[in-house]
A and B are shown apart, each in its own frame.
Chain A
Amino acid sequence: MDIDKLKSDASGQIGAAKDLDELNQAAVKWLGRKGALSEFMRRIPELEPDLRREAGQKLNALKKELEALLEEARERISGSAQARDEGLDISLPGRPVAAGSIHPINQVMEEICDIFVQMGFDVVEGPEVELDWYNFEALNFPPDHPARDMQDTFFISGDVVLRTHTSSLQIRTMENTPPPVKVIAPGKVYRCDSDVTHTPMFHQVEGLLVGDGISFADLKGALTLFVQKMYGPNTPIRLRPSFFPFTEPSAEVDIGCVICRGSGCRVCSGTGWLEVLGSGMVHPNVFKNVGYDSSLITGFAFGLGVERIAMLKYGVDDLRRFFENDLRFLSQF
């Protein structure tokens, strides 16, 4: 009566069973009423009396062990069967959950504002229908001055206009706040112009920083920081002299073309540079108009067109697409 052999044979066959049929055969053969284990049990009385007790214990233990093995094998086999027989077609699409999106212009505007907010700028807003004073005169655009031609203006009446820039917030902010001032003003602006590169409404972010000892070098610093946050740490920036009535010195700001990285392409007209911003040191007349003493403080201002940046960022070819609200366009952002 070789119990060890019985154990190894039985556990071997149970472990090797590939399906339920084979497993059931093994169960009958080893653990059934007429199986090998029962046969051994029946033969215990044939043993010497002092060996019977030990053999009984051993066989009972073996029985439990084999039953456990059997159960384990059954789970193994039925598990894989279920996987095959009752599995899902996971390639079918899931139940749709609606997901919309923020308009690309507002996404970009948010991104721009976030960068300046991280730099400590406050965000201000103001009316889109604006008095001539805030939009022009206080910003050092005298009446009947050719500088006004730089901005084709929509008029409501003689001295009420649709703001042509959010620079009007410079005046509204400084009027109510003593220096230092550190604000950005995002929003819609309007100009009387419509073609592939102009829409009568577009978006701007204006910035203003005024305080003691603020310099043109600081303007370069702030804009460099912004450009590198927005376009990557290696984006070059260059300032070119220009003219805006409310700043002096004034500068147009170019960044290294984000498309060709400076080698020249269609987007940058082969120059390697893209004009993205207007900026400059706040003109003393502007300070005078808000009651600041320009001998005590200096400041810089800048303004950027959101559409321009969004077009570059996403490669949008036609400005007008932003305002058509075609879902095939909007759902791409």
Chain B
Amino acid sequence: MIVSINWLRQFVEINLAPRELAHRLTMAGLEVEGVSDRYAWLDSVKAARVLSVAPHPAGENLTICTLDMGSGQPCTVVCGAPNVRQGMLSALALPGTVLPGGRTVAQSAIRGVESFGMLCSAAELGTGPDKSGIVELEKGAPGEKIAHLLNLADTVFEIGVTPNRPDCLSFLGVAREAAAVCGTRLVRPQIILPKGEGTIEEITSVAIEAPEHCPRYVARVIRNITVGPSPFWLQDHLLSVGLRPINNIVDVTNFVMMETGQPLHAFDFDLLEEGRIVVRTAQEGEKFTTLDGKEKILSSSNLMICDGKKPVALAGVMGGENSEINPNTKTVLIESACFSPMSIRKTAKSLGYHTDASHRFERGVDPTGCSAAAARAAQLMLEVAGGVLVEGEIDANPVPWEPKEVCLSVKRANAVLGTDLSCGQMQGLLASVELETKTLDSDTLSVTPPGFRVDISIPEDLVEEIARLFGYDNIPVTAPKLPMEVPPPRPAMSFRKKLRNIMVNLGFFEAVNYSFVAADTPARLGLSEDDPRQATLAVANPLSEDQAVMRTSLLPGLLAATGRNVNLQNRSVRLFELGKVFFARANEPLPSEQFMLAAILSGERNPLSWHEKAAPCDFYDIKGAAQALFEALKIKAVDFVRPAPGQADTLLPGHCAAMICQNKLLGILGQIRPEVCTNFDLKQRAFLLEMDVEALRAVTPDTVAFSPPPRYPFVLRDITLVLDKAVPSAEILEKVRQMKHPWVESVWVFDVYEGKPIEKGKKSLSFRITYRADDKTLTDGEVNTLHDNIGKTLLNAFDATLP
């Protein structure tokens, strides 16, 4: 809502500076989002004395004028005005001035003569209607600001009116609030209508066939009007709040809407067939062209204003092309109605309109204000368009407004606010915005909200009024009095926090990606048709194709982020994300939401440095990260196995693993298939780790049981086997463990070798075994015997040889 302070002053005495008024209104709930100078463009328009006038060599009634603009340095402008003459004081717009018509004054040559700015007419400056010649100032000195000399000053507020306060979508509503913060009184405009001719009932009628959508419809008729441009004052008022003048009749409807908040419509009465109004819902599929030239197909939920035969307006939204005011209009029918907010909103939304009228009707207009607004419009139309009023009004009011009393307990209001206001204080605050109160008993106030306050229906609405008018700043600051309690543990949340910290400690940066992805993402990930991640949930109104469905995997976001980073020359990428994926479910309105953890590695494991050469990361880097994660979580015995078919379609076969613990699949890891990388614009190898957070949590021990460190020293022995290349090293370790010898504490691989002199198809694996007894120090002899036995068993079991 744009508000001109000058216009506002017509209804209320304002005893505050504009900035202070803006602040007070904001603190009372009318947020002033912008404060601007109405005449900002006049800042660079100065008084200038014409020192001399000479004809322009190019003729065409142009003159070359020398001006004194108060700077001591005369300047030259080219002027085409007939009234320019030596000695006159006029208005010079300096170069850079943007005139109300949108034209920017430039310093330029006009037909070969340099012109420093432009001498302007009042119409060009937007200060008056006169366009016959340049402004002639009666007083003032060269160099003075024109706004000052013409006494033009106005401030414009841009107010963010909340949806519950449609009353403040009008000057009278804002003036009521301004009166409250200024401590002054609201003064309504006087409406005096001349005695009309004939009676309105003789010439027209209003039939409301859909009273649930239209509780009230007021109509007035004026004959013999003359359609034409509005007088300057009316145009100026509309321009001050950003409305475009159309013609005197339409301008009056807009003016009254701004003044009262009641949207009006004016019909050309002679274009209404049978000269009457019918309010009904549209027929399904009926076509209608609104006055912006758009044809719409209507549905039975759209409320229409019709004449005796056809629709003539989309009720509360926009008039029709077939009945709009035109230069030949002689008789006008003024509509001032009350429509159901929900009905108007549905129609406006479904047909794609948002107009000043629909904006107000959706929020609710004063059901008691129709008649006054119609009369006010009639008064102004007679003033600016002439004509003869038809006596009386039609007031079709099938659903009369009933005032509803709201009772407020003073005690309760104080309890909710934490204040200690007296009954009288509360009454005073409410009265300041025209909410009259009655005292029912010492604790109970009764308020019957006037029609313009459609937002007040329960006691809390009055508590809010009291609070905002008393001032939120004046309400004390206290601490809530509640029993002391320690919130219960939230293990799932704590676990995710822990996971994040572990990933950070492993050198990964946390990414946050949008939860929506492109619809073809599962295909781009290389997932098979029957993969559960194909069950995406589509967003009905996505902002773009890239955000069309909810993600079923964290991978697409991470892959795209990695690709972006590589393109930005961040070639070594370590990213992780912990977030939800969404799976559509049959027969369930809501999808299943599952927390996943995914990490991606790409580029170099370590940059080139003086310690070591740069090396690309590989499968064992991502596996190492997984193992470190398990170690940090104290998860033991995770098996890394070849994924089952369909488990890891995104990963390169032979270079990926499924992680299994306690017979549950925790997730997968490995190299991402190169074509999948390409699909996400990533041009280098990348390695993925993806885990189901809840599966991981299920195998994470809650506590750690301490076992004392061993008391006796260990003995190390190594063994190297040459065996078939296909044998996984883990099988050999497992074989050693299966022997379950109490002295074998641990066994691990410390070297893998293929190539000369090892035979082709074979590899050499070196293991180190730690021997330790828990009751004595082992002797060399004891260890040697056991180590030999283990060696023999392995040689036999794996058909291996010693190197």
Binding site for B on A (CB under 8 A): 92-93, 95-103, 105-106, 110, 117, 120-123, 125, 127-131, 144-147, 149-150, 154-157, 159-160, 162, 180, 182, 188, 190, 192-194, 199-201, 209, 211, 213-218, 220-222, 224-225, 238-243, 248-252, 281, 283-284, 298, 322-328, 330-331
Contact = CB atoms under 8 A, between A and B. Distances in A.
24 contacts: A95-B611, A100-B507, A100-B508, A102-B510, A103-B510, A106-B510, A122-B488, A123-B490, A131-B589, A144-B342, A156-B539, A156-B540, A216-B417, A217-B419, A218-B418, A240-B472, A241-B29, A248-B464, A298-B415, A324-B564, A325-B512, A325-B564, A326-B570, A330-B575
Contacts of B611: 95
A281 B503 contact: no
Interface stretch (B160-168, B216-224, B287-295, B305-313): B160-168
Given A325-B511, A328-B568, A215 B561 contact: no
Contact of B512 (A243, A298, A322): A322
Interface in B127-153: none
B467 A249 contact: yes
A101 B513 CA distance: 16
Contacts of A326: 564-565, 568, 570
A92 B610 contact: yes
Interface stretch (B380-388, B455-463, B662-670, B717-725): B455-463
A239 B547 CA distance: 37
A121 B487 CA distance: 7
B476 A102 contact: no
Interface string B441-461: 000000000000000001011
Nearest to A130: B590
Interface in B580-626: 580, 582, 589-591, 593, 606-607, 609-611
A328 B570 contact: yes
Chain B interface residue number, banded: 35 or more
A127 B590 contact: yes
A24 B490 CA distance: 74
Contact of A217 (B164, B417, B510): B417
Interface stretch (B199-207, B397-405, B478-486, B749-757): B478-486
Nearest to B550: A129
Given A120-B484, A221-B478, 9 more contacts: A100-B510, A128-B582, A146-B362, A156-B538, A182-B482, A222-B480, A241-B472, A248-B460, A298-B416
Given A100-B506, A157-B540, A241 B565 contact: no
A239 B472 contact: yes
A129 B479 contact: no
Contacts of B609: 93, 95-96
B332 to A, nearest CB: 31
Nearest to A216: B417
Contacts, number: 246
A327 B464 contact: no
B346 A241 contact: no
Contact of A180 (B416, B417, B482): B482
B132 to A, nearest CB: 42
Contacts of B162: 242-243
Contacts of B165: 243
Given A129-B593, A249-B467, A240 B488 contact: no
A213 B500 CA distance: 40
A160 B589 contact: yes
Interface in B7-32: 26-29, 31
Contacts of B487: 117, 120-123, 182
A274 to B, nearest CB: 14
Interface in B629-681: none
A224 B29 contact: no
A240 B26 contact: yes
Nearest to A126: B593
Interface centre among A106, A199, A243, A284 (most CB of B within 10 A): A243
Given A131-B589, A131-B590, A238-B473, A96 B512 contact: no
Nearest to B580: A128
Contact of B565 (A130, A144, A243, A325): A325
A242 B472 CA distance: 11
Interface in B540-590: 540-543, 547, 550, 557, 561, 564-565, 568, 570, 573-576, 579-580, 582, 589-590
Interface of B: 26-29, 31, 162-165, 341-342, 345-346, 349, 362-363, 415-419, 458, 460-461, 463-464, 467-468, 472-473, 475-488, 490, 493, 497, 500-501, 503-516, 537-543, 547, 550, 557, 561, 564-565, 568, 570, 573-576, 579-580, 582, 589-591, 593, 606-607, 609-611
Contacts of A215: 415-418, 478
Contacts of B541: 154-155, 192
Contacts of A241: 27-29, 464, 467-468, 472
A283 B455 CA distance: 14
A243 B163 contact: yes
Contacts of A122: 487-488, 490
B550 A99 contact: no
Contact of B480 (A101, A110, A221): A221
B472, B537, B579, most chain A CB atoms within 10 A: B472
B416 A99 contact: no
A284 to B, nearest CB: 6
Contacts of A283: 460
Given A149-B163, A216-B417, A242-B29, A325 B561 contact: yes
A215 B27 CA distance: 20
Nearest to B165: A243
